[in-house]
Amino acid sequence: METNTLPILAAINIRGIRLNNLAMEDALNAIDGALVSKTPVQIAFVNADCVNLAARDPAYQATLETMDWVFVDGIGMKIAGKLLHQPVRANVNGTDLFPRLCAELGQNGRRIFLLGGQPGIADAAAEWAKNHHPGLIIAGTQNGYFGEAKTPAVLERIRATRADVLFVAMGAPRQENWIRKHAAACAATVTLGVGGLFDYYSGTIPRAPQWMRYMGVEWVFRLLQEPGRLWKRYLLGNWMFMARVTTDRLRQQLSGKSK
């Protein structure tokens, strides 16, 4: 019989992806600890769409395995954790983490660099961060529209700013692959892949109301905003994700690992 007394593990595994199962406060403390000790860390956030991408792209899954921390993002992952008897502690998504992290970084006079997005988007997101957290130092910004030939110059520029934290907003899997290949050259202590985060804080795309986020249906709000672009990701992708997770659950049961 199913119970609600399963232990909440520090790490869980969904579709072969190892995830750090932390509360938001724990994630912030971990990042602060890395900054204090100057321990370089690379961070990814994985949601249901990322799991689908990894299932189709072994190179992306391999890249996720190289990340120091992979945080659980979204209601789909929470449902998957429940089905697989690996309870998810919290939805630690980059969009909610960003303002809280900026607040802490501002209190300590840390330097951040925002990389990615269309021209002007990173600048606007940086302006939001600076206006809301005056102690925060914007080390620099750079849009994501530069070719391979310009990459060395971008890396050198980021390194020269002495940024403590580098936010990379290029979308999965490009941003994680970019981090894996170039983070060391940038020399930031903490590097995070944050998807479309800059779009929200630049004001380009509005976020769902708080009640929708609380209910776990922010994806519905996003679908209604951009149905032509997102219908396949959410309508087909969500069903594919649940089919994959359900298959894993059935395998658990058949192998005698059901709890």
Q: Answer yes or no: is 101 within a domain.
A: yes
Element (H, E) at 29: helix 24-37
Q: Answer yes or no: is 4 within a domain.
A: no
Q: Answer yes or no: is 2 within a domain.
A: no
User: How many CB atoms within 10 Å of residue 51?
Assistant: 24
Q: Kindly tell me if the per-residue pLDDT of 60 is higher than 60.
A: yes
Q: Answer yes or no: is 82 within a domain.
A: yes
DSSP character at residue 209: P
Q: Answer yes or no: is 222 within a domain.
A: yes
Q: Kindly tell me if the per-residue pLDDT of 3 is higher than 60.
A: no
Beta bridge partners of 221: none
pLDDT band with cut points at 50, 70 and 90 for residue 253: confident
Lowest-pLDDT range of 50-59, 123-132, 207-216, 239-248: 207-216
Q: Domain of residue 17: give its range.
A: 12-254
153-195 tens-digit pLDDT? 999 999 999 999 999 999 999 999 999 999 999 999 999 999 9
Q: Answer yes or no: is 1 within a domain.
A: no
Q: Which residue spans within 48-197 are E strands per DSSP?
A: 69-72, 111-116, 137-142, 165-169, 190-193
Q: Which of 202, 183, 25 is nearest to 97 (CA)?
A: 25
Mean pLDDT of the chain: 94
How many domains are there within the chain?
1
Q: Give the 3-state secondary structure of residue 152.
A: helix
Structure token pair of residue 107: 């209190």
Please report, rounded to a whole number, the percentage of residues in the chain having pLDDT higher than 90: 85
